[in-house]
Chains A and B, each alone.
Chain A
Amino acid sequence: MVAASGLSKRVATAAGPLDILADIDLQIHAGEAVAIVGVSGSGKSTLLGLLAGLDLPSSGDVRLAGHHMNALDEDGRAQVRGELVGFVFQSFQLLSGLTALENVMLPLELANTSAPRLQATGLLERVGLAERLTHYPKQLSGGEQQRVAIARAFSMQPAILFADEPTGNLDSSTGETIIDLLFELNHEHHATLVLVTHDEALAGRCERRIRLEAGRVVEPDGTA
């Protein structure tokens, strides 16, 4: 489903070039739930961005559901994202000017699906926010905001869900309910899950983990 080979990312900084990722090879199969773990600053988010086609590697190759992401231009990658990928972020990334319902409707509207309001309402009910449809993000708690984000991520029935520290901004008990919800929905939708976290317990709920240290994969268990 997702495959990377020889992936590196180098950026120019004031102090000279910096290798954030170096020579990463990995494969994630359809339906799998994989955790990318590592301490803060080890390059997890950068890797996620590359795998999801939000950014381009300095060298190496990413394939997402058969698409060579390097070979596509930004608009081509956008199209792949639109069709296949869902996102959940540490900082929720809800649009402050839109209500909860509108935030969930946005991808549906963008894809011009029929009855986006009905679908979005259904999803928000599913994540337990039936009463909060018309609330703006700033009127919701962190956990509630993340539920909205999860509803949004699943609105397009994505084949792959990328989640970057989805509990990073939440207290542990709220975090746990959010993760439960994430796994439940993932299961229902038969989606592939790529979960970035520095939380080992959370990573333990995935079938497999890939550990990053200073931009390199150090524990490639279960290489296919």
Chain B
Amino acid sequence: MNRVTRWRLAMRLLARDWRAGELRILGAAIVIAVAASTAIGFFTDRLGRGMINQSADFLGADLVLESPRPVRTQWLAEARDTGLRTSETLEFSSVLVVGDRLQLASVRAVDAGFPLRGRLRTAAGPFLTDAEDVTTPAAGEAWAAPRLLTRLGLNSGDTLAVGKQSLVIAKVLTFEPGEAGSPFGLAPRLLMNLADVPATGVVQPGSRLTYHYLFAGSEQDIARYRGWLKSRLGPSHRLVGVQEGRRAVGTALERAERFLGLAVMAAIVLAGVAIAMAARRYSERHFDMSAMLRCLGATQRDLLELYLAQLLVLGLLASAAGCLLGWLAQQGLLVLLADLLPMAPSAPRAWPLLAGLFTGLVVLAGFALPPVLRLKRVPPLRVLRRDLSPLPGNAWLVYGAAVTAVVLLMWRYTDNAKLTLAALAGGAAALVVLGVLGFVLLALGRRLHTRVGVAWRFGLNNLWRRRRTSVSQILAFGLALMAMAVIALVRSDLLTTWESQLPVDVPNHFAINILPDQVEAVRGFMDAREVPTTQIYPMVRGRLVSINDEPVRQAVTKEAQSDNALNRELNFTWTTELQEDNRIVNGRWWRSGDSGRPLVSVESKLAERLGIELDDELGFTVGDERFSARVASIRSVQWDSFRPNFYMVFPPAVIERFPATYMTSFYLPPGDKPMLIELVRNYPALTVLEMDLIIAQVERIFRQVTLAVEYVLLFVLLAGFAVLFAALQASLDERLYEGALLRALGASRRQLRSGHLAEFITLGALAGLVAAIGTECIAWVLYSQVLHFDYSFKWPVWVAAPLLGAVLIGAAGYRGTRPVVERSPALLLREG
């Protein structure tokens, strides 16, 4: 047969199969697979870019270049040529003098374009209600942070002088993109117009200046420009993109992204299961066709090409339909979420469509190819002896192909080698273990069968008689249930973590620079107004100078030498009580006798970066004085919890001799803001940092990510149910045939029905049990290696999965075998 003939025949056969309904289940499985992964892929892509946009709002731009000197004009021209919008700001410190009051301010001079992303927020006076502001300070104007005004005793409308230039305070600045980094140690902000800078006279040779060049544009343009710029940067330049600029919500978003990646994987595994089951059925139903074709003179090669051509075309058509469906589903989702999602999701891109097509074909190749390859080995003698079937596919080929497909897709979707490898190893081990386990469970179930009623005996016997098939069905359903369970589990732990990270009364203000003799007074002030504060911590600023008597720069690795912690002063504190969200990961917390002993507890990330270990001797300086302390514990800190946190914590009476200021954080509802004016007036040295706007923004992001996670869960569950049903459908043939035979032999309808019910309930419960075991293992790996959650035994899964399996598969199987009693046995046997 030549190739053209083969293709023509293949297409005819495909069309006939389609018409005869032979392709329904396989086709549906592919469509579901592709639709689910496309929908989630689309959604994740758009949401992910939405999040990046939001991070850009935080940063004020898509890309920021920081430099101590003006950069070459050519660099900016290049940016504009690339199609980017640009803005330029200049930052410097300046001491402002009003009457007899002095205050260091951090001045930022901006052009009219600032900020390129996000919005400034301003208010008419200090601590008054604020709103978004699309303008920037006009020439001759200044916008000042509330604490600058309270320090200087000014109000809006007053004038102040920056250098030689006097400016009118036009507005109070409450929020500025790009300032979300570390709020500590910053002098209060004054915003002014770039055009006024020359008149101030502050730009002199040798003055400390920071230029910021902001860029915004399409993702591709930014990437292109970034690439162009990178090779030209000098050592004093710093480039900050949205990825680097989103620390405030970093871990939350990272986890959300991993969750979405996991969800896509779950959808793919589900799809694989459905396709494998459907392809197996397809293959078995084509044994006769293959035998006949070979009897009629077709070679093995003919058969191979005939089936591959059909599979390819079916795969392409079904994947295309799946892509379309997935796109529609995602579109519908966005419409549904339009009111709930505060941000506008960005426009769709084409790649998820291609990815969907790719996914469909890879899953098809991995899961459907092995059973279909069996078809070419059907012996022609089958036409004389019906019982002759081709040898079952080589297990290595079957599972190898499936695992390869999953790994390929996983790698493609998560871009995470560690995750992929973990999943690969886990998956392979799990398949073997679960397969054996399924077998053992089946054998155990069978031992029960003398002690149960006749229906159960029939059901259990059926399962045992077909134990090979039964085990593979338990595995398949178990995998599907597992995919659903893992996603459901991760979702709820994700949400719990976020809720605990930002409880309703998370401190949204910091009070720093509280003088020692004012601590009691400030505490009294807060208590009188029923403002809940966290503990009041002493704060001593000092440097880490040596590790085990070696100067710190020599003691650490090369990469760590430029670590910020070595280049600036760190915050030290002392306390007896471990902060709520801190955990000791190594060593021990203070005991009663530790007071006055030279011990220190080190934050775990810093310890890791600098290679500090338990019992190391650390040398510190505070002011001019040196002292040392032994590392008694390594402590993990939740930096995004918006509570006071410290790198170095000492026991009492070790650093108490150094001058300290105190700090605390507290929650203030929006209506109570005017209290701050009073606080600052009473204690002029004290500084209030307002975190409420940043927290509100983080909350908003959490809220919408939560929503997305919920919807994706719903998607996975829907896909899971669809897949379970399709897979079940594929396993019904044999049961229908046998049922008809038994009816013909005189079995009552009732007997058959309850027998089938028992069979499917058992199948579902065993699959659920297998799923629970798999889920537990996967959760352990995921939590400890990928998501960095605390792992605890997931007992609800052990209850829910077998129960759900029994109910779902029991019900669907019961429904699926209904034709046994609804149609005449003769008809069924004839169709068999």
Chain A residues close to B by CB (< 8 Å): 45, 48-49, 54-55, 74-75, 78-83, 87, 89, 91, 93, 95-99, 102, 106-107, 109-112, 136, 138, 156, 164
Given contacts A54-B380, A54-B384, contact A95 B297 (CB under 8 A): no
Which listed residue (B8, B9, B16, B295) contacts A97, Cβ 8 A?
B16
10 new A-B contacts, CB < 8 A, other than A78-B298, A82-B297, are A45-B385, A54-B295, A80-B297, A96-B20, A97-B17, A102-B16, A106-B296, A110-B9, A110-B298, A156-B296
Assembled-state Cα–Cα distance A212/B831 (Å) = 35
Contact A112 B2 (CB under 8 A): yes
Nearest chain A CB to B386's CB is how many angstroms away?
7
Q: Which chain A residues border B289 with CB–CB below 8 Å?
A: 95, 97
Q: Which chain A residues border B1 with CB–CB below 8 Å?
A: 110-112
Which listed residue (B293, B300, B381) contacts A54, Cβ 8 A?
B381
Contact B300 A106 (CB under 8 A): no
Contact A93 B20 (CB under 8 A): no
Contact A78 B297 (CB under 8 A): yes
Q: What's the tally of chain B residues with a CB closer than 8 Å to chain A?
A: 33
Which among A78, A98, A107 has the greatest number of chain B C-beta atoms within 10 A?
Answer: A78
Q: Which chain A residues border B288 with CB–CB below 8 Å?
A: 93, 95-96
**CB pairs A–B below 8 angstroms (21 shown):** A54-B295, A54-B381, A55-B379, A55-B381, A74-B380, A78-B294, A78-B380, A79-B299, A81-B296, A82-B297, A82-B298, A95-B292, A97-B22, A98-B20, A106-B296, A110-B5, A110-B297, A111-B297, A112-B1, A112-B2, A112-B5
Q: Is B408 on the interface with A (CB-CB < 8 A)?
A: no
Contact A49 B296 (CB under 8 A): no
Q: Which chain B residues border A110 with CB–CB below 8 Å?
A: 1, 5, 9, 293, 296-298, 302
Q: Which of B286-335 touch A at CB < 8 Å? A: 288-289, 292-302
Which listed residue (A75, A82, A96) contacts B301, Cβ 8 A?
A75
Nearest chain B CB to A103's CB is how many angstroms away?
9
Nearest chain A CB to B466's CB is how many angstroms away?
20
Contact A87 B9 (CB under 8 A): no
Nearest chain A CB to B21's CB is how many angstroms away?
8
Contact A89 B298 (CB under 8 A): no
Assembled-state Cα–Cα distance A106/B293 (Å) = 8
Contact B830 A138 (CB under 8 A): yes
Which among B296, B302, B385 has the greatest number of chain A C-beta atoms within 10 A?
Answer: B296
Contact B20 A136 (CB under 8 A): yes
In chain B, what residue has the closest Cβ to A83? B297
Q: Which chain A residues border B22 with CB–CB below 8 Å?
A: 97
Assembled-state Cα–Cα distance A75/B831 (Å) = 31
Q: Is B154 on the interface with A (CB-CB < 8 A)?
A: no
Q: Which chain B residues border A89 with CB–CB below 8 Å?
A: 383-384
Nearest chain A CB to B823's CB is how many angstroms away?
12
Q: Which chain B residues border A87 with CB–CB below 8 Å?
A: 295, 383
Contact A98 B831 (CB under 8 A): no
Nearest chain A CB to B529's CB is how many angstroms away?
82
Contact A49 B298 (CB under 8 A): no
Q: Which chain A residues border B20 with CB–CB below 8 Å?
A: 96-98, 136
Assembled-state Cα–Cα distance A78/B8 (Å) = 20
In chain A, what residue has the closest Cβ to B380? A54
Q: Is B208 on the interface with A (CB-CB < 8 A)?
A: no
Assembled-state Cα–Cα distance A48/B384 (Å) = 9
In chain B, what residue has the closest Cβ to A55? B381
Q: Interface of chain B, helix or strand or loop or mixed?
A: helix
Assembled-state Cα–Cα distance A107/B5 (Å) = 12
Assembled-state Cα–Cα distance A170/B385 (Å) = 19
Which among A75, A79, A138 has the greatest number of chain B C-beta atoms within 10 A?
Answer: A75
Contact A93 B9 (CB under 8 A): no
Assembled-state Cα–Cα distance A98/B13 (Å) = 9
Given contacts A45-B384, A87-B295, A87-B383, contact A75 B16 (CB under 8 A): no
Q: Is B794 on the interface with A (CB-CB < 8 A)?
A: no
Nearest chain B CB to A141's CB is how many angstroms away?
11
Q: Which chain A residues border B626 with CB–CB below 8 Å?
A: none
Assembled-state Cα–Cα distance A138/B20 (Å) = 12
Nearest chain A CB to B314's CB is how many angstroms away?
14
The 5 closest A-B pairs by CB, nearest first: A82-B297, A75-B299, A97-B20, A112-B5, A107-B296
Contact A93 B831 (CB under 8 A): no
Q: Is B12 on the interface with A (CB-CB < 8 A)?
A: yes
Chain B residues close to A by CB (< 8 Å): 1-2, 5, 8-9, 12, 16-17, 20, 22, 285, 288-289, 292-302, 379-381, 383-386, 830-831
Given contacts A75-B301, A97-B17, A102-B16, contact A109 B830 (CB under 8 A): no
Nearest chain B CB to A134's CB is how many angstroms away?
11
Assembled-state Cα–Cα distance A7/B740 (Å) = 42
Nearest chain A CB to B347's CB is how many angstroms away?
45
Contact A98 B293 (CB under 8 A): no
Nearest chain A CB to B216's CB is how many angstroms away?
60
Contact A78 B384 (CB under 8 A): no
Assembled-state Cα–Cα distance A41/B295 (Å) = 23
Nearest chain A CB to B301's CB is how many angstroms away?
7
Contact A54 B2 (CB under 8 A): no
Assembled-state Cα–Cα distance A98/B18 (Å) = 11
Assembled-state Cα–Cα distance A11/B20 (Å) = 38
Q: Which chain B residues border A49 with CB–CB below 8 Å?
A: 381, 384
Nearest chain A CB to B281's CB is how many angstroms away?
13
Q: Which chain B residues border A156 with CB–CB below 8 Å?
A: 296
Assembled-state Cα–Cα distance A83/B2 (Å) = 15
In chain B, what residue has the closest Cβ to A74? B300
In chain A, what residue has the closest Cβ to B23? A97
Nearest chain A CB to B25's CB is how many angstroms away?
14
Nearest chain B CB to A72's CB is how many angstroms away?
11
Q: Which chain A residues border B298 with CB–CB below 8 Å?
A: 78, 82, 110
Assembled-state Cα–Cα distance A78/B301 (Å) = 11
Contact B2 A75 (CB under 8 A): no
In chain B, what residue has the closest Cβ to A106? B296
Assembled-state Cα–Cα distance A172/B383 (Å) = 23
Q: Which chain B residues border A78 with CB–CB below 8 Å?
A: 294, 297-299, 380
Assembled-state Cα–Cα distance A109/B16 (Å) = 14
Contact A109 B12 (CB under 8 A): yes
Q: Which chain B residues border A99 with CB–CB below 8 Å?
A: 16
Q: Which chain B residues border A102 with CB–CB below 8 Å?
A: 16
In chain A, what residue has the closest Cβ to B300? A75
Q: Which chain A residues border B297 with CB–CB below 8 Å?
A: 78-83, 107, 110-111
Contact A138 B831 (CB under 8 A): yes
Q: Which chain B residues border A107 with CB–CB below 8 Å?
A: 296-297
Nearest chain A CB to B361's CB is how many angstroms away?
25
Assembled-state Cα–Cα distance A150/B293 (Å) = 16
Assembled-state Cα–Cα distance A49/B383 (Å) = 9
Assembled-state Cα–Cα distance A161/B289 (Å) = 20
Q: Which chain B residues border A80 with CB–CB below 8 Å?
A: 297
Q: Which chain A residues border B292 with CB–CB below 8 Å?
A: 93, 95, 106
Assembled-state Cα–Cα distance A197/B514 (Å) = 109
In chain A, what residue has the closest Cβ to B386? A91
In chain A, what residue has the closest Cβ to B285? A97
Q: Which chain B residues border A136 with CB–CB below 8 Å?
A: 20
Nearest chain A CB to B319's CB is how many angstroms away?
23
Assembled-state Cα–Cα distance A78/B381 (Å) = 11
Q: Which chain B residues border A138 with CB–CB below 8 Å?
A: 830-831
In chain A, what residue has the closest Cβ to B832? A96
Which among B285, B301, B383 has the greatest number of chain A C-beta atoms within 10 A?
Answer: B383
Assembled-state Cα–Cα distance A156/B5 (Å) = 17
Assembled-state Cα–Cα distance A58/B25 (Å) = 42
Q: Which chain B residues border A75 with CB–CB below 8 Å?
A: 299-301
Contact A96 B831 (CB under 8 A): yes
Assembled-state Cα–Cα distance A55/B380 (Å) = 8
Assembled-state Cα–Cα distance A54/B299 (Å) = 13
Q: Which chain A residues border B12 with CB–CB below 8 Å?
A: 109
Which listed residue (A83, A96, A112, A164) contacts B384, Cβ 8 A?
A164
Q: Which chain A residues border B285 with CB–CB below 8 Å?
A: 97
Q: Which chain A residues border B379 with CB–CB below 8 Å?
A: 54-55
In chain B, what residue has the closest Cβ to A105? B12
Which among A87, A91, A93, A138 has the greatest number of chain B C-beta atoms within 10 A?
Answer: A93
Nearest chain B CB to A222's CB is how many angstroms away?
26
